[in-house]
Amino acid sequence: MRRAIFLSLFLAFAAGVARAGTPACDLTEADALRTARRWAALVGASDTAALENLLDSGYTHTHGTGLVETKKRFLGALRDGTRDYVRCKILDPKVTLLGRVAVVSGVLDLKVLARERIIQGTNRFMMVVARTDKGIQVAAYQATLLTRKE
């Protein structure tokens, strides 16, 4: 008897989960692409106020040069003008969905003014986008330099 009741409860629960489909908290491809493109636009505009909300508190930015920065250091360089992204455009993006997390990859066309130098070219990049308690945020970015024109 207990077994029949347990089995009935389990089947009812499983049926409810199956009907629910994809949890509302999962990211969609559109969410991830919109977030990645917003990140590029905000970086290109040096909009540190908006980036403060878009970047997760544990955000890590790994440049194509190998420099690794925390959220605080990355935003600090934008705020004080040490680094100015003149052009920051995502090309050929691909999205891999993993529930509340997505990996966005592709090519980034950029032009950066950094310490009186102009760095421009393309990078292969990967970005981690996640649905957090604060909304959809970028958790990490990493680039590999493909070409450079100085």
pLDDT above 60 (res 109): yes
Please indicate whether residue 72 or residue 3 has the higher confidence score (pLDDT): 72
Q: What is the pLDDT of residues 64-105, one digit of tens each?
A: 889 999 999 999 999 999 999 999 999 999 999 999 999 999
Q: Residue type for 97, please?
A: L
pTM over 0.75: yes
Q: What is the pLDDT of residues 9-48, one digit of tens each?
A: 333 434 443 334 445 689 999 999 999 999 999 999 999 9
Comparing CA positions, the residue from 39, 13, 32, 47 lying closest to residue 108 is 39
Looking at domain 25-149, which CATH architecture does it have? Roll (3.10)
**Domain range summary for the chain, segments of one domain joined by +:** 25-149
If 0-12 CB within 10 Å is exposed, 13-18 middle and 19+ buried, where does residue 140 land? middle
Q: Please report the pLDDT score of residue 136 as a whole number.
A: 98
| Angle formed at CA 91 by CA 93 and CA 37, multiple of 5 degrees | 70
pLDDT above 80 (res 124): yes
- Min mean pLDDT across 18-32, 103-117, 127-141 is at 18-32
